[in-house]
Amino acid sequence: MKTIIEPFRIKVVEPLQMRTRDEREAIVRQAGFNMFLIPAADVLIDLLTDSGTGAMSSLQWAGVMQADESYAGSPSFFHFERILREVTGFRHILPTHQGRASERILFELVGGAGKVVPSNAHFDTTRANIEHSGAEAVDLPIAEARQARNRHRFKGNMDVAALEALVERVGPENVPVVMCTVTSNTFGGQPASLENLRAIRGVCDRFRVPLFLDACRFAENAWFIKQYENGQHDRPVRAIVREMFDLTDGATISAKKDGLVNTGGVLLVRDEALFQRASNLLILTEGYVTYGGLAGRDLEAMAQGFQEVLDEEYLRYRIRSAEYVGEKLLSAGIQIIEPPGGHAIYIDAAAFCPHIPPAQFPGQALVVGLYRHAGIRGVEIGSVMFGGAGRELPSMELVRLAFPRRVYTQSHMDYVIEAVIEVFERRHDLRGLRIVTEPPALRHFTAKFEEV
Ligand code: F0G
């Protein structure tokens, strides 16, 4: 059959809060036109992030009840460790409270002044942790990644020639690790191919530099490989995932994405000495090695989540729903980053409202418009997020609509599509914004705006 359905049925429901347009108008003003300052209870469809916002399965909740909360040597840890070993092939598995905790431990150990860490595209917490250690974070995406309309299937690929040139220029002794983010959140939720990962591995071997994955969305990446990479179509996703990890020396993972849990992280390391140092730092700042800042119940939920995410019916539905939204918006004349990403759709806000200059934040204007019109919360990824305090303005003004896993149904997506199209039809009513108050750093979380 042609129709792709949600491959689950609903056992527990959570009512949505319906607010009137007038109520939303008061709420958005009260929040200074900043989506992070709007109480979640006043949001109808929350597409702020796909991180930690997913729904757990009946088996995950059963795991929560069965979990063991011993400080050391909990059976829940051994269950989690066994599953992560099966899925990734790594022997050394450390739990952390979320992805950035894994990043912080890794870069405290391998970063430092004078070091350079290349990636296809660092996520902002990864970049911040690298820079916090004193090292430099460098993005080396392929050229196609920066072209919104380019439908290259693997826009998450790294420019391997640029990687080679960089390592040669700074010297391999100054490159403690090469990272690759799968999928590339910064450039639209786009995947990296196995071919590209193998080529990166080749460069790393040549220079004897380790390769680490930022593997938050490893299963979504593997699904794209299965769909679009030559020779991969008949392989199980599990085998593709295994090959992705086999090519690497370690990984940082936010389990809040493809771990299908509300909080949790993982740090994988192959090197024995690095593992020992990471374990010591974990104990110092997160918790003992068999819980890493989490409860036993979180470890059980992760053990189950990391298996469920490999279910191909789930991945088919998951990737199809983002594609469905993306293709409908495109056919209405709305420019998005093409092709649609795995976990989100990124709307080109500069094209959406050309009457609003970057200095008046077209992405923020669109985010406000979507909330006002339909109670939908997206996030600006443009001049509000990246600009300020003498920083260079980003090359694109984007609005990300990120999809929580297993939370919304197709009719919710139809509502989102209709809302975005209606706002597009009235785009000339969208108004630019100016910042009234802003903090010195990470201003998008707390800045307040007024309409121009
Ligand atoms: N790496 C990537 C690619 C991410 O997308 C995120 C989080 C992290 C690392 C950090 O993980 O939040 O568990 O500490 N991304 C979320 C987002 C916040 O909305 O895209 P964390």
At residue 108, the pLDDT reads 98
The size of the chain, in residues, is: 452
Q: What is the pLDDT of residues 71-125, one digit of tens each?
A: 999 999 999 999 999 999 999 999 999 999 999 999 999 999 999 999 999 998 9
389, pLDDT greater than 90 = no
Out of 35, 100, 346, mutate this one to test ligand 1's pocket (max ligand atoms within 8 Å of CB): namely: 100
- Residue 182 Cα, ligand 1 centroid: separation in angstroms? 11
Cβ-Cβ contacts under 8 Å for 107 (sequence gap 6 or more): 117, 129, 130, 132, 133, 135
Q: What is the pLDDT of residues 192-238, one digit of tens each?
A: 999 999 999 999 999 999 999 999 999 999 999 999 999 999 999 99
Question: Within 10 A of 331 (CB to CB), how many other CB atoms are there?
Answer: 10
Q: Which two tokens stand for residue 39?
A: 């109480």
Locus of tokens 């347009």 = 21
- Residue 395 Cα, ligand 1 centroid: separation in angstroms? 21
Q: Which protein residues touch ligand 1 with a CB less than 6 Å away?
A: 49, 51, 98-100, 123, 125-126, 181, 185, 214, 216, 254, 256, 265
At residue 109, the pLDDT reads 98
Out of 48, 179, 180, 254, mutate this one to test ligand 1's pocket (max ligand atoms within 8 Å of CB): namely: 254
- Residue 52 Cα, ligand 1 centroid: separation in angstroms? 9
49, pLDDT greater than 90 = yes
- The CATH fold of domain 58-308: Aspartate Aminotransferase; domain 2 (3.40.640)
20, pLDDT greater than 90 = yes
Q: Which two tokens stand for residue 244?
A: 């992705």
Locus of tokens 């080529």 = 199
- Residue 51 Cα, ligand 1 centroid: separation in angstroms? 7
- Residue 254 Cα, ligand 1 centroid: separation in angstroms? 6
- The CATH fold of domain 21-50+311-451: Aspartate Aminotransferase, domain 1 (3.90.1150)
Q: Which two tokens stand for residue 207?
A: 């220079």
**Nearest residue by C-alpha to atom 2 in ligand 1:** 123
The pLDDT-based confidence of 177 (bands split at 50, 70, 90) is: very high
Q: In which element (H, E) is residue 94 found?
A: strand 92-96
Question: What percentage of the chain has pLDDT greater than the value 90?
Answer: 95
Distances (CA, A) of 104 to 112, 132, 184, 220: 12, 9, 19, 24
Q: What is the pLDDT of residues 292-337, one digit of tens each?
A: 999 999 999 999 999 999 999 999 999 999 999 999 999 999 999 9
Ligand 1 atom nearest 186 alpha carbon: 3
What is residue 138's three-state secondary structure? strand
At residue 333, the pLDDT reads 98
Q: Sketch the domain layout of the chain as residue ranges.
A: 21-50+311-451, 58-308
At residue 352, the pLDDT reads 97
Out of 125, 218, 345, 442, mutate this one to test ligand 1's pocket (max ligand atoms within 8 Å of CB): namely: 125
Q: What is the pLDDT of residues 327-376, one digit of tens each?
A: 999 999 999 999 999 999 999 999 999 999 999 999 999 999 999 999 99
Q: How far apart are CA 224 and CA 244, in angstroms?
A: 13
Ligand 1 atom nearest 256 alpha carbon: 13
What is residue 419's three-state secondary structure? helix
Cross-strand bridge partners of residue 212: 179, 250
The mean of the pLDDT values for the chain is 97
Q: In which element (H, E) is residue 451 found?
A: strand 448-451
Q: What is the pLDDT of residues 28-42, one digit of tens each?
A: 999 999 999 999 999
